[in-house]
Structure 1
């Protein structure tokens, strides 16, 4: 059952609908990548001072992927305004 729960979590949190490749190597790489991603998300959730749900953290990180922010400050205080950027002369 733990394997079923793992794949259900992958589908729900990472929005993986199907595997991109069908060879054994492709499937293994995708599973390892998903494991690493889940471990990084769980680590961020654990060190954050803000009480994140894993799904909310995943969705928020997905929205801020190309935003230049201090990650550790943001996971602790996600609703604080961003710092002012210095003017470029």
Structure 2
């Protein structure tokens, strides 16, 4: 599982006003169905840092920390269907712009790591290598 103190420190690197401006720019909360963009971001970061393998792992993991969610700016833990829906229907442009904004802020803030940060501005190519276990009796 993930240490929520460390997780909240990572989230504190994201300027909430900048995030709200980006949400307004991309209108990503326009047709929200119970989950706003901040909750979506927290859910996806939680997924990554806790090495969650499924939507169920994300939902149950966030639900198990219910007392601490309000400190992260999340009102309630999203359900499995909500996470699945927002991953399908929300654009990635908000998170792309957020990434580059945080990167630019770190670039200006910390001159010691500029060489390393400069490498992050190149194109990143990712390949999904997730494994889906199958049951032979189904086939």
- Does the pair score TM above 0.5? no
The alignment's TM-score, normalised by the length of structure 1, stands at 0.31
